[in-house]
Amino acid sequence: MASNTLNYEDYPAVGDALISSFQTDQAEFLKKYKKMDAAFLTNLKTTVEATRKLSSVFAQNENLKKTTVQLYAFADGLNAQLLFLGDYLKQEKLNFKEVSEIRANFKKRNIEGAIKQLRDFQPYLNQNKTVLEAGNMPLNYLAPLFTNLPQMELLNAEQIKLINQRKTMVEQNGNIFEKADVLFSDICSAGKKIFKDTIKKEEYTMNKILKRVRVSSKPKETEIPPTN
């Protein structure tokens, strides 16, 4: 599996930083590690370029972010409505426990399960609509609970599809990131030893590199953080 330190979208920027430093310092590396030659550098560049082509697929892509934000916004809005529905049912001594279970599933992000439960519960709610509206429940409160369910089902299906696509790509191409991990590790390990007592050591210290590249590529607007 790929590095637990790097997100997939980090690989190209980290690779570029290491290539830049390594090319400058290659003569020093060759004094201690004779196989870190032109062929090694070519291999490094080729591998980094391969991660660049894949990183946009492996990253938490914009479509998945937007789909997830929309889906969870619908779920949270519906859950807020269900909170009051539970009270209305309880006050009329009707089945309110079902609503509690539906809300729990929405909170756990079991969207598919929660929607199915709510649809299954709809006939019971309609049967008791008159009783509920005679109590504390506002008129026409039930219908809006089901308005967004079709769109939520579409968004849920799209989210699952995108996640599965990403998982498949990881399984098929993870070896490229594995290869990059080995090269990055070799360069960093050697570089920290060669430049042990100098400021240049930071150029081969992964947490320093990551901090630098993430700051330089940080978006101006808030994004959903990557998950891997």
Pair (118, 142) in one structural domain: yes
Residue type, 148: N
Considering the domain architecture, whether residues 85 and 35 belong to the same structural domain is answered as: no
Tokens of 128: 């008791």
Say if residue 69 is in the same domain as residue 49.
Answer: no
Tell me the torsion sign for CA atoms 154, 160, 166, 168: negative
Same structural domain for residues 138 and 78?
Answer: yes
CA–CA distances in Å: residue 206 to residues 38, 39, 133, 148: 23, 23, 63, 46
Rounded (10°) CA dihedral 216, 227, 56, 152:
-120
The two tokens of residue 188 are 């960093």
Give CA–CA dist 210/215, Å, rounded: 8
Q: What sign does the dihedral 33-38-41-42 (CA atoms) show?
A: negative
Same structural domain, 25 and 89: no
- Given a cut of 90, whether residue 6 has pLDDT beyond it is no
Residue 14 lies in a domain: yes
Task: Please enumerate in sequence order all residues whose Cβ is within 8 A of that of 218, keeping only pairs 6 or more positions apart, or say none.
Answer: none
| pLDDT reported for residue 9 | 83
pLDDT band for position 60 (cuts 50, 70, 90): low
Overall domain count for the chain: 2
What's the pLDDT at 221? Answer: 41
User: Are 53 and 71 members of one domain?
Assistant: no
What is the Cα gyration radius of the chain? 27
Does residue 216 or residue 80 have the better pLDDT?
80
Percent share of the chain, pLDDT over 90 = 75
User: Is 76 inside any structural domain?
Assistant: yes
pLDDT class of 63 with cuts at 50, 70, 90: confident
In a domain, 158, yes or no: no
71 and 140: one domain?
Answer: yes
Domain co-membership, 55 together with 69: no
What's this model's pTM, rounded to 2 decimal places? Answer: 0.57
What backbone phi and psi angles, to 5 degrees, belong to 203? -70, -15
One-character DSSP codes across 96-113: -HHHHHHHHHHHTT-HHH
What is the span of the domain harbouring residue 78? 65-147
Q: Are residue 72 and residue 42 in the same domain, yes or no?
A: no
